[in-house]
């Protein structure tokens, strides 16, 4: 019986649409001259995710990708976001922790000339929020603060 319970998958209900959870003025400020948001789902066993992608229509395409995922039970793991192995770990870079939600980490990639990107993820209960923000000629600290602010906006609705 234990083996059967351990292997059960319980898919969670879908999370709320994520684009409306981030204020329009925040998106306008972070991604100037952007087109309409692209939305979609990325689901896996025991996980339902809704995402929002906003891209600049300028030649240097700044973008903001925000996803809101909700966890269920899968392969013996419960629905708590922080219990998911490897969810908040990058293997080829340096993780930085922040105090947000139950757990939050970010890492930086790329460079200012070709596009610097911050990947930010945070957990709160059964929810996970991931923010990827790419911009040019921007220092690291403002990029991290921007990604954290977007994640905080989403978390504030949960």
Tens of pLDDT along 68-105?
A: 999 888 877 778 887 765 555 555 567 788 888 999 99
pLDDT of residue 81: 81
Predicted confidence (pLDDT) per residue in 26-75, tens digit: 999 999 999 999 999 998 888 899 999 999 988 677 999 999 999 888 87
Question: Which spans in the chain are helix H?
Answer: 2-6, 24-30, 140-155
Q: Tokens 């925000």 map to which residue? A: 66
* pLDDT given at position 96: 81
- CATH code of the domain covering residue 76: 3.40.1000.70
Q: What is the residue range of 92's domain?
A: 2-155
pTM (global) more than 0.85: yes
Question: Given a cut of 90, is residue 132 above it in pLDDT?
Answer: yes
Q: Which two tokens stand for residue 101?
A: 């939600």
The structural domain count of the chain equals 1
């Amino acid at each position: 019986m234990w083996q059967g319970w351990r292997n059960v998958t319980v898919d969670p209900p879908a999370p709320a649409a994520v684009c409306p959870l981030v204020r329009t003025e925040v998106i306008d400020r972070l991604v100037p001259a952007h087109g309409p948001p692209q939305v979609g789902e990325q689901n896996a066993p025991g996980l339902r995710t809704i995402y929002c992608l906003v891209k600049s229509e300028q030649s240097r395409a700044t973008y903001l990708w925000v996803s809101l995922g909700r966890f269920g039970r899968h392969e013996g793991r419960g629905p708590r976001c922080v219990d998911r192995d490897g969810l908040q770990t990058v293997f080829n870079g340096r993780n930085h922790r922040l105090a947000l939600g139950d757990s939050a980490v970010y890492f930086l990639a790329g460079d200012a000339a070709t596009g610097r990107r911050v990947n930010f993820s945070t957990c709160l209960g059964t929810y996970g929020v991931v923010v990827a923000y790419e911009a040019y000629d921007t220092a690291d600290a403002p990029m991290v603060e921007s990604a954290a602010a977007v994640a905080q906006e989403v978390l504030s609705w949960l």
